[in-house]
Amino acid sequence: MTEDVVQEVLRRVQAAGKPAALLLGAAPKEETGYRYVTQKPYEAVILGSLDARELLQFPDDRSLQALLEGKAVYLYEGGESWRQYEKTAPRELYAALLQAKRRLLRLGVRPLRPAGAGIITAPELRRRLREGLPVHGRLTPLARDILEGRAE
């Protein structure tokens, strides 16, 4: 019991310094650099999971409002459950899902990739540093130099 209380206090202390984000859907498995809240005020929205229906009906009210207010809206790409149907879904349906994903990105939603997914370029690194997001994954040589303070 005491150990549980200590762990909860530590979790809350660590979360206190992080910016607030409204979490929609399931929580990402990786650290995002945000503490999750259920109501305003928050600085960003994180779409932690997105199924096929939600993707086709995007934007939901809260994401739309955040985009209109100029807040960052992130899609955790590890939570896109609709991707598992690539081989079984009718081709037209899967094409519609891909088109809906492109539209979502054009509306201003930013990808939030799982740790270690892909290579982090210098512009991506700068964005993550500017927004206080964690840096996980492989870095390009220039991104590594920026992180180590050898380049601007």
73 Cβ partners below 8 Å, 6+ apart?
Answer: 44, 45, 46, 47, 63, 66, 67, 108, 109, 110
Same domain, yes or no: 96 and 67: yes
33 and 7 both lie in a single domain: yes
Q: Domain range holding 106?
A: 2-114
Judge if 69 and 12 occupy the same domain: yes
66 and 91 within one domain: yes
Same domain membership, residue 64 and residue 87: yes
Residues 102 and 145 in one domain: no
- 86 and 143 together in one domain: no
Same-domain check for residues 66 and 101: yes
Domain identity same for 129 and 83 = no
pTM recorded for the entire structure? 0.67
In this structure, the answer to whether residues 106 and 37 fall within a common structural domain is yes
Full pLDDT tens readout for the chain, 152 residues: 666 655 554 455 444 578 899 999 999 888 888 899 989 999 999 999 999 999 999 999 999 999 999 999 999 988 899 999 999 999 999 999 999 999 999 999 998 876 555 678 888 888 888 877 767 677 888 888 888 876 66
Q: What's the number of domains the chain is made of?
A: 2
Residues 141 and 79 in one domain: no
State the pLDDT at residue 150: 65
